Amino acid sequence: MGKLPQAPFEVRLAATLFLLLLGVADLFGAWEVANFAAFAPRAVAATVAAEERPMAMVGHGPSRAEETEVDLAALDRPRHTIGRDLLVQDTHVHVPVYALTAAALSLVVFGLALSSRARSALVALAFAAPFADFIGLWGAHLVRPLAVFFGAITVAGGFSMGLAYLIVLVLTLVQCWFPSARKEPSHA
């Protein structure tokens, strides 16, 4: 383990480009959360624990999609509610994508020059996100009196994935692209 810094150029390039592309996706994912729900536990609870409404048929009727400027002061104001049907769809997409992202991050982590304990902590942090997302969203939906608590779990899950990503990105950039941090393998 820990051979990514000494890996061939193309391997380091692939790991770096994967992480940068994942970062772009994460930024847009956060923007989507801001547009659709919110970042505060109380706002997540209000979005997910709302009374059931029939889910609108997608692709039928007038579209309400439009470009809007992002107002940072409005990030924690819920604009929509998520009923059970949409929550099932959301879980079907988010949990596997989070899991695949955690697995891909773990593969990069395995190649970094870190102790086994540090690699284990980063892997656990990355995989905590899909569990927290699932538990938080469904908990807020099913146990409405504790919706704010479960909203906090959802927010923590999102931030744990972001933190895992940032740590792996920084370590990868430092270890793979700064010669002083790379130790060239000895050929003796």
Burial track 141-168 (b if 16+ CB lie within 10 A, e otherwise): beeeeebbebbbbbbbbbebbbbbbebb
Structure confidence at residue 17 (pLDDT): 82
Structure confidence at residue 182 (pLDDT): 53
Structure confidence at residue 52 (pLDDT): 54
Instruction: Report domain extents, the chain.
Output: 4-50+81-177
Residues of the chain scoring pLDDT < 70: 1, 33, 35-38, 50-66, 74-80, 181-188
| Predicted TM-score of the model (pTM) | 0.66
Structure confidence at residue 36 (pLDDT): 66
